[in-house]
Amino acid sequence: MRVEGVTEFAQLLLHDSGSRYQLNTLIANGRSDQNVNLPNRIPVALHYLTAWPNGQGDVVFREDIYHRDAALLAALKAV
């Protein structure tokens, strides 16, 4: 999964869960694949977008790298 603003996201998860971990300490450890058990569960909503408006209001399309668009289009046509 790709995350925009991953450092800010990690900091929010640590803070909002009441974790005792400090992000700067985890980063200083030098490993990019650390597992950290949070003391409280935090719900996270994932959004997968292949089209969105740009600054001029035009719709911009990107490649559907996870191949989800076909199922979505089929579901919309079935309605």
Q: Which residues contact 11 (CB under 8 A, 6 or more apart)?
A: 23
> For the segment 41-61, what is each residue's pLDDT rounded down to a tens digit?
889 888 889 999 999 999 999
Phi (first) and psi of residue 11, to 5 degrees: -65, -40
- Using DSSP's 3-state secondary structure scheme, residue 5 falls into coil
- Mean pLDDT, the chain cut into blocks of 10 residues (79 residues total): 86 90 86 84 88 95 92 91
How confident is the model at residue 26, as a pLDDT? 86
Which residues share a beta bridge with 64? none
